[in-house]
Chain A
């Protein structure tokens, strides 16, 4: 009798534990959707450096929504760092635990997520009417608007205006002119480029710059052929020219310098140029408020028509198709562009205007870059498969470290491109 009693007691306790564990999970889910006057949105934005600004804006939305719809909105804001964000988001989406609203890279990630069916269609929201053309194109796929663009980028490389003015340097339009600029700088004891290869995404920046410029000029159907498995990246003549040129004329110990340190070095005038984009503006200005820097198109060969600005849309907000609060989520992302303080938010984040409602004065680097865009000297960030970008991060690092040859790099990129295309068609 005692034997049966104790075993019975044990199993009762055990099952109680299991039931409470499962039960509490259900309660959490039930709580969110049962009460229609209170909604909790899970928001995932991979920009922890802007935490305060986003939190403030979410509070604005909560106040606005309560006034107009009478529903109280609370937020669960998740802000992982850029390095881990893709992994975390991907895991959540694959395991049916998607955030209601999440940030993604418009050009890189919309194709993947759309194919997997994660993105809600936002075409009927008011913000789509006021979007400027370039951002609108970037977030549209198959005629549907799938994300709200936040961060638009016009970039090539950054240069220090003061140094350029001091030595009377003109912005180079071909790679030979760039060599002259480098010589002038070397003669005057100024290091031409910042080399910062510790963070993998920085060497990778060469990939879109070179393929984008070449496909906009000499190889117009390059991407079409690559995406049909009909081409090879080795067809691109002179792919490594600018990479080698920058690498040969840069600061020391490149593999010990990451993005933040590079910003610091650039801001303190340790070199005249940096192959990076204006998304580093905030870091650079934090290191040295008085620096005058600007954006210029990167020359990749001797064709002045191939020296173009890369126009891209990166951070954008999307709504999950499986969100239980899809109406509120859609209202939130719409509010990011249509809300009263949207212009203020964009200014604080140092983002460029994306709608006709944004009437604030653009930043110096944007005005300069827009000059090139208006002259037609730009191309949209090319549609390179995400896997190829990830691979190029690593093989460029190995190439710049001296362990891989040029053929190895091109072969690796080709192979991964093929694989990515095959997986897409499965």
Chain B
């Protein structure tokens, strides 16, 4: 039996719920409006093909087949046991990744330090070092292809003999040509991240260290580096990710050649799917393997480096 007073309180409770909905509603609306389009594109162009790829990796879909048959794990087994080219390309990619990750990060940090402690020419150098990143990757690959095959041999005739290499034609040298172009292009982006991180290092900490008698090297290693560890985590993650999946640079410069001497994993998968027997299903399986490998490595890397991050 509700009293009249009790009934009168009901609209109040209703009003409260109304206000609560309004706030949450606003949040959800803005969430959907801002993330919705991006999520739609992500869903259509990344998630759905990913699911399709996983499905097709269990089939024997190829160019000549009229019927697509489900073959279970045999594609994965074949990739691990009966594909010497895939193995070789995996080793080559790991070698490439190791070199590029280390070099790109060290160089980016060095350039960032150099720029950060300039006074007047800071913007100029920042722009100059970032410009390679603004050129489209495939265009820069073609540009460098021109430089390597025509410009450098011409320059070599003017006395700079060491420039007279088979930059793209010699299997031993072409690997390093690719690394050169990749570093030239990627360092700018990492440098920007490092500059931002360096700007966030509290000055009073460095001053305190100097007062305590630390040399500039000790200052750098024990004060600056821990303070920018979060940036290092990010840049190592980005360079690791990018290096494992490298395609454009290699395709534009050497196409994987001569022979297969510079064929990285992405190119090996591309060759499997789009030439020879056009084995789409098998290529999908190899892509899945690459995906899992990158996933595991980057998870380990982020986990390890996050543990080393320090709050100011």
Contact = CB atoms under 8 A, between A and B. Distances in A.
A426 interface: yes
* Chain A interface mostly: helix
A157 interface: no
Given A116-B66, A255-B168, A7 B259 contact: no
Contacts of A423: 62, 64, 277, 279
A14 B275 contact: no
B24 interface: yes
A357 interface: no
Contacts, number: 109
B64 A255 contact: no
Interface stretch (A83-91, A181-189, A283-291): A83-91
Interface string A401-413: 1011000000000
A200 B33 CA distance: 50
Contacts of A254: 169
B132 interface: no
A280 interface: no
A423 B62 CA distance: 9
Contacts of A255: 166, 168-170, 257-258
B22 A2 contact: yes
Contact of B278 (A6, A90, A403, A419): A90
Interface in A198-220: 198, 200
Interface in B25-67: 25-26, 28-29, 32-33, 36, 40, 60, 62-66
Given A397-B259, A398-B258, A116 B166 contact: no
Given A86-B275, A256-B149, A426-B65, A3 B168 contact: no
Contact of A112 (B64, B153, B275): B64
B91 interface: no
Given A6-B25, A112-B64, A255-B166, A397 B258 contact: yes
A345 interface: no
B280 interface: yes
B276 A401 contact: no
Interface string B271-292: 0001111111000000000000
Contacts of B65: 116, 426
Contact of A387 (B169, B258, B276): B276
Interface in A11-35: 14
Contacts of B252: none
How many A residues touch the partner, as a band? 35 or more
Interface in A42-84: none
B64 A116 contact: yes
B275 A87 contact: yes
Contact of B261 (A14, A197, A401): A401
Contacts of A198: 169, 257-258
Interface in A342-373: none
Contact of B29 (A7, A90, A112): A7
Contacts of A14: 36, 40
Contacts of B259: 394-395, 397-399, 401, 403-404
Contact of A7 (B32, B66, B149, B261): B32
B21 interface: yes
B25 A10 contact: no
Contacts of B226: none
A177 interface: no
A268 interface: no
Given A398-B258, A403-B261, A423-B64, A10 B32 contact: yes
B111 to A, nearest CB: 32
Contacts of A2: 22, 25
9 contacts: A200-B257, A255-B257, A256-B149, A398-B261, A400-B258, A404-B259, A423-B64, A423-B277, A426-B69
Interface of B: 21-22, 24-26, 28-29, 32-33, 36, 40, 60, 62-66, 69, 149, 153, 166, 168-171, 255-261, 274-280
Q: Which 3 A-B pairs have the closest CB atoms?
A: A255-B169, A3-B25, A398-B259
